[in-house]
Amino acid sequence: MTTHRIGLIVPSTNVTVETEIPQILRRAGVDLSFHSSRMRMHSVTPEQLRAMNAQRERCVLEIGDAGVDVVLYACLVAIMAMGPGHHRDTEFRIAEQLGAGGSDTRVLSSAGALLRGLADLGVARVALVMPYLRPLAEQVVAYIEAEGITVADWRALEVADNAEVGCIPGDRIMEAARSLDLTDVDAVVLSCCVQMPSLDLVQAAEDELGLPVLSAATAGAYSILRSLGLPVDVPGAGSLLRADAAVPTH
């Protein structure tokens, strides 16, 4: 079996994405190793997000040294706060930097992965739960809507400390999800952030709400699987990760 090397570029205070995405991929039967590089960031504010993004080139060099097959720039709001379409520029620049060193590593971002997941589910109207302060949450809404997807309703839990985001209780997240107006909504993003824990909630929320439920983490894992040409069939993690479940094998 081939061992796939997965690279992550993450905020220094993020402790969730390195737990949830490996868990999903192992449930998908992927033999993998994970390699992370960290950007210093404590508070989720525009100033700290800009300072964090400025560390990207160093992190790309470090990840490139590991010879990874795919790299995920794993901070959704750091990209979406930079303005509509910025995930394309970020992914291009990382690929360009890696390519200058002779690497053909596939490059993804959490922002781009979420948008791909929504598109592949055929979502036209979505509802969101986010941990961000309201001004940043509004930028996330505007970013998604600039991609042609209507954000019908959303909740911002307004937690600025990124370490605290990683400790938000599941019942608080579910309470926010239950308060959403889901009229004519096609899907719910239970955690529009790779630091807010949600993997254990996704399937239960989908069953309760009667709609496809995904998160930044499940969308990231989905895009990694697709980029590696691997099957997407992870039971108990929402509709997005059951994309190939109905495809017969021979």
* Residue 151 marked in a binding site: no
59 is catalytic: no
Q: Using CA atoms, how far apart are residues 56 and 186, in angstroms rounded to an integer?
A: 34
- Which residues, at least 6 apart from 148, have a Cβ–Cβ distance to it below 8 Å? none
In contact, 10 and 128? CB cutoff 8 Å: no
Taking residue 138's Cβ as centre, other Cβ atoms within 10 Å add up to: 14
In contact, 85 and 125? CB cutoff 8 Å: no
* Residue 77 marked in a binding site: yes
* Residue 44 marked in a binding site: no
Residue 36: closest CA among 25, 26, 22 = 22
Strand partners, 4: 32
SS3 19: helix
Q: Using CA atoms, how far apart are residues 122 and 10, in angstroms rounded to an integer?
A: 29
* Residue 75 marked in a binding site: yes
DSSP state of 36: E
Taking residue 173's Cβ as centre, other Cβ atoms within 10 Å add up to: 22
Name the CA radius of gyration of the chain, rounded: 17
In contact, 36 and 8? CB cutoff 8 Å: yes
Which amino acid is present at 129?
V
* Residue 132 marked in a binding site: yes
59, 75, 167, 192: the active-site residue: 75
Q: Using CA atoms, how far apart are residues 62 and 64, in angstroms rounded to an integer?
A: 5
* Residue 53 marked in a binding site: no
Task: List the catalytic residues.
Answer: 75, 193
Query: Per the annotation, where are the binding residues?
Result: 14, 75-77, 132, 162, 194-195
Q: Which residues are annotated as part of the binding site for substrate?
A: 14, 75-77, 132, 162, 194-195
